Chains A and B, each alone.
Chain A
């Protein structure tokens, strides 16, 4: 997807995050500036503890920064208002987590319904599950699904609300490569077909090939940004 000249969907300025663990202060983010364009697919790459997940949590309104600002479509996010953050998450952001975080007592369809019931303009749970190729597994409980299937339910749950922003934290981290490819294809499909701005955290450098842009993290900072000239399809990847 060509993004040059697209509108800015999300913008973070001088983000810092300090965790205090007793007397020790851990600087998770040390002044991060970043911009996501509408419809862009960004991969965040870096070793553990480099601040990727912290950034994604703050951008998604799951956590608040110690300093700095986040602007979504020109509107400054009010980090001090829990209600504002809640509405932001509810209306605009879809999350996919490494460990799926499905509710074990709900079926695939019900897990998706959990979100569609409170969203403003959702697609039906069946449609969301069909998009990720799970139209025939809708009444299965998480325990009856494989890891890849569970992750695809999690993606269906994230996209069912038609989010403007899809944030994925190591979505293939717990999967084998073949299943990982299926999951990446689902994410790419949503990015392309729905035009959802997507940010994806991974440890796997190979996966970076599917992105428009790759942000390299180290020690709480973005140390390098790379624009991929060509986006490769997940099916072409091997790791």
Chain B
């Protein structure tokens, strides 16, 4: 190993705390990036493998009742590889020990042989026996939520008839990776389950013998999906088809793909912001660190080391620190990635998980992190190697300070000298001060960006569930019901009021853009679940035209006044054009509304409703729930409070944990930048602070000068960080906008306060850690013992007073004596000019040397002085005598007495 490499390793060890702080900053960004990239990789790989193994269908369609023979026609559509018909129906379950009615989706399994498409993965038990009509296989998450196992039974209402169903197995299906109830937002495994039954049993229960109401297709490679959908729609239209759709629009897959897209989004934004901040901080910290290596760089140049060799030496330093960061980040990122992917499997149910991170994520993260660190540092190395060696080896010239107008104000007059030093230093290097402040501000900004999610989610939930909705439950029917049903429901026990709504599946198109989007019909004067604009509040639905959400308007590229084509996918499949009457803002989905009467009119179904929003008297809730379990035609019951609870529970298990990580990473950034700023400021100002210590400043006064600057810069960083944080939060919220949800830009005052408090605490902790270093020029004292400090002390004093030659030596003596006697330096270097004038060349040199020798003896502390007094010192006789005199002066009476005694012995 070369000497330079040894130097590098020992320097790194010496700076280990700083190295770790920088490495952790780099690790934060790297870990986030690796976590995001490997999660995406795992989700994509797992999804692809799962879909392939279970033959997940490409096209899906539902209808009311289709004769079985049509299945052959469907299978003969050009491009169709396999077609499988089945029955899909809804039911209400009465689960033991669970008060609320549970919504279930029932799917038929082929009577003979395995399913051609959407095959089940049996997790426990077995498949159903076709000869036993009450056997069911239940979805694994539902079984877990209700602790069901093969052999258990429960009650179910199938088309108004109560049945006892026997669980024979649990399974997972590629169709229900993300299982949400119709109209639901998040999986609620307690209130929504999937059941698979025999085809004949279901056909009997729902009066669908020799018929089907759902079909799945797989397509040959290269087939035009749109063409197949169009032909399928044509075949199913006479049988109540409601529009076929491709895999992309299949609910579970849509959520899964959206989540992967969201992850990709996140992998671009969040880690990039972290990496950019980390790169900025690394750049700043490394630049200042290398600045302190100026003398070494000059020395290496003096020995004949070339710029390239020196540059490589420091590049290696950066690379080692960067590599430590990348390694920590990789380990942490891999762990987080695995944890994150496992977290996904709680909501996205896969029978297996393929977490096999490839090298790509690590290479990308490593290259970005190391590149950022190198780019910043090499600029500084380049600046340093440009200096002539003679210049580089000198301590930097004293900076030029000038009295500005600020110095002449009354306020400046009231300042004490240490405060003046702090302020002048900041004013003298405004860019450096700004950059240090900016570094801290960035960590505050990232904290604000992370904490903003809490505000945003609170605001989203409050707007969507509390301000926008006032119903306690929403009941959806299997089929359209006459509007009189409202009165029937109002007469149920505990129902305070009921408000009907109509839902119609539809395609809305504007120009060539087509969106499959259901239209909700809202009654005039609706109050329980009206159309709600996040800013304007409740909005009345205009009697004519359609009212669309801002996101849908964006997708359709439509504005108020434009005409859109609406194609209803149910009933008589009406097609008509409607004006966009209003656009409103909502955080969830891409809804479209119409006046309910108008929707019924164009659908031609008469005065019908799809469901009801109801308000419930809390006292009669249990009674009502019991009654609802027996009411026929109910497809689902969604409870608002349950939705709120599920929302927060899900958020608590996902987003809030992430926020915790982001906060931890932000604190790491904050600590990294603060610790390094203080540590480097200490290195840069070691001479100045040591001089002040020699001049009699207490440790607290020294700490005040050092930390006061950090304090001021932190205070400047708070508003700056708040402004940048707001910008980042704005960017994040606009970048995270999807069809599923929009995150509102909400930043509460408390969030700014929390971020500032966390940053200030980090600064205080760093200050507390570094305070011992600032406490005294202790390293100088130790170095004195090793015999190298006189010239350093002399240099400090010379630096301070700009003294030269003999006066420097004399002042060195005086100041050193003062330091150990606790009295102020008396000469203050005022004899500079007279010394230089008076002294001849030789005399001056002699005086200098003599004074240095004596200063040496004082400055090497009691131990060395005692050795002199015992006659073992290195000084000549004359110098020993001088040393003793100075010693007596310096230590006062007691010490003088001992000194005399010792001298006597000598």
Contact = CB atoms under 8 A, between A and B. Distances in A.
Interface of A: 21-22, 45-49, 57, 60, 62-64, 82-83, 86-87, 89-91, 95, 97-101, 103, 105-106, 110-111, 113-115, 117-119, 142-147, 150, 173-174, 176-179, 202-205, 216, 238-239
Given A95-B302, A110-B6, 5 more contacts: A105-B11, A106-B10, A114-B300, A114-B303, A205-B842
Residue from B304, B787, B875 whose CB has the most chain A CB atoms within 10 Å: B304
B3 A143 contact: no
B792 to A, nearest CB: 8
Given A47-B836, A105-B7, A105-B14, A118 B876 contact: no
Contacts of A203: 805, 844-845, 848-849
Contacts of A99: 791-792, 795
B841 A63 contact: no
A174 B6 contact: no
A117 B295 contact: no
Contact of B296 (A47, A103, A145, A238): A103
B805 A48 contact: yes
A22 B842 CA distance: 33
B856 interface: yes
Contacts of A95: 302-303
12 contacts: A22-B400, A63-B390, A83-B306, A89-B301, A97-B393, A106-B10, A113-B2, A118-B305, A147-B790, A176-B876, A177-B876, A177-B879
B65 to A, nearest CB: 86
Contact of A176 (B309, B791, B879): B879
A204 B849 contact: yes
A150 B304 contact: no
A207 B307 CA distance: 37
Given A106-B6, A203-B849, A63 B391 contact: yes
B7 A106 contact: yes
Interface string B800-835: 000011000000000000000000000000000000
Contact of A114 (B3, B875, B876): B3
B199 interface: no
Contact of B307 (A82, A87, A202): A82
B408 interface: no
B304 A90 contact: yes
Interface in B293-332: 295-296, 299-307, 309
Nearest to A49: B804
A48 B804 contact: yes
Contact of B389 (A62, A103, A113, A150): A62
Residue from B3, B790, B795 whose CB has the most chain A CB atoms within 10 Å: B3
A60 to B, nearest CB: 8
Contacts, number: 135
B185 interface: no
A142 B6 contact: no
Contacts of A22: 400
Contacts of A205: 841-842, 845-846
Interface in B832-859: 836, 841-842, 844-846, 848-849, 852-853, 856
A86 B301 contact: yes
B788 interface: yes
A15 B7 CA distance: 37
A139 B569 CA distance: 89
B483 to A, nearest CB: 88
Contacts of B393: 62, 97, 101
A203 B841 CA distance: 8
Contacts of B791: 98-99, 173-174
B204 interface: no
B427 interface: no
B302 to A, nearest CB: 5
Contact of B787 (A101, A105, A146, A173): A146
A106 B791 CA distance: 20
Contacts of B805: 47-48, 203
B105 to A, nearest CB: 71
Contacts of A173: 791
Contacts of A106: 3, 6-7, 10
A45 B841 CA distance: 9
Given A117-B3, A203-B849, A62 B788 contact: no
Nearest to A116: B3
